[in-house]
Amino acid sequence: MIKRPIEDRLRDCLAKHADWPDERIAAAIVGSRREMVRAMRAGESIVPIIEEEKKTEAGVISLDAVRARYDIAAAIREELAQLKPGALVLEREFSLRVAGKDVTRFRRTVDNCPEFRVNRVKLKLDQDAGEGSWYWGSQSTVTEAVKLRDE
């Protein structure tokens, strides 16, 4: 069986699932990365990214790869910058986008970085829900949501 080029597979996946976040598309296509998905969304070629991967030596990883995996605070900032004004994201979804399955690292980062407190709000949108749920958004969106909640 002939394996289709990664660029074609990414293009097809983006066309079919345009609403999926970059991380989910990258996870769905074997051999792809979040940077490739972002480049495809921007209409850029992913060839430089693929060629950069080929240049690495066996057993050697870049510091950027380590950062992408472990620098959760930077990933949170990046995701917050991508959120549309007026949009709030459920914390479970936000955590998946930022840290994947590493919920503990996400939680530890949120607890230890007070700068993110202005980007979180606890809302009880469903009357039958117990405690309510945490949502993430831009500082202005969260401020407006808190005002509306507390009126």
Residues 78 and 151 in one domain: yes
Residues 48 and 99 in one domain: no
pLDDT tens string, the chain, 151 residues long: the values are 567 788 888 888 888 988 888 888 888 888 788 888 888 888 887 765 655 555 556 677 778 778 777 888 988 998 899 888 899 999 999 998 888 888 899 999 999 999 999 999 998 877 766 788 899 999 999 999 999 988 8
**φ/ψ (deg, to 5) at 20:** -70, 145
Distance from C-alpha of 2 to C-alpha of 50, rounded to nearest angstrom: 19
pTM, 2 dp:
0.58
3-class DSSP assignment, residue 29: coil
pLDDT (0 to 100) of residue 150: 87
42 is a domain residue = yes
Residues 51 and 80 in one domain: no
